[in-house]
Amino acid sequence: MSKVDRRITKSQEAIKKAVTELMTEKSFDDITIQDIADKANVNRGTIYLHFTDKYDLLDKMIEEHMNNLRELCQSASEMTFQEGNYIWFEYFENNKLFFSTMLKSKGAHYFRSRFLELVVQEYKPEVDTTEGKNQGLSEDVILQFFASAIVGTVEWWFKNGMHIPTHVIAEQTGVLLDRNLE
């Protein structure tokens, strides 16, 4: 396995942080590569060395976070919903600038749909419509209901300044999932 040069990693992280910070100041459509370069303290060529354009940069940032959340789900597969939710909400808290910016920005629709899609995929194995509380219900309706609830709760949490501690919101959303998906 080849070792990644720390300068490359540092440049990429500076670029990602710059675009996220710029999105708190203005619309993504109004952000230029030069704006990103100036904010990240790199030259434009450095950005183009790693990304095709600003849209490729944003896509890669979103994909990176979706992959990280997917990995967290896999590592939490033997946990209760409460325990698994804590890992997710801790990740949201640690990446507050990215998630709060993405959920508030004009491009939020694309990000939100990717986030919903991820939640649906990750909860699909947990839904049983053959017996129990959900017997006879549509799996698609159940998945959309819970995915919308989770994404909506995360949005609400960020919009309200994360006023509920991470462990509390994770526990309470986990209790709701445990009640309804078991």
Question: For 121-146, what is the mean pLDDT?
Answer: 90
CA 13, CA 37: separation in Å to the nearest integer?
A: 12
Q: Is the Cβ–Cβ distance between 36 and 15 less than 8 Å?
A: yes
Read off the pLDDT of residues 81-103 as tens digits, 9 standing for 90 and up.
888 889 999 999 999 999 998 88
- Does the pLDDT value for residue 2 go beyond 80? no
Q: Where are the domains of the chain?
A: 1-51, 59-181
Write down the pLDDT at residue 108: 65
| Homologous superfamily assigned to 1-51 | Homeodomain-like (1.10.10.60)
Q: Which of 91, 15, 88 is nearest to 54 (CA)?
A: 15
pTM: 0.85
Average pLDDT over residues 115-138: 90
Q: What is the pLDDT of residue 106?
A: 63
- As a whole number of Å, the CA-based R_g of the chain is 18
- What is the rounded CA–CA span in Å between residue 63 and residue 175? 29
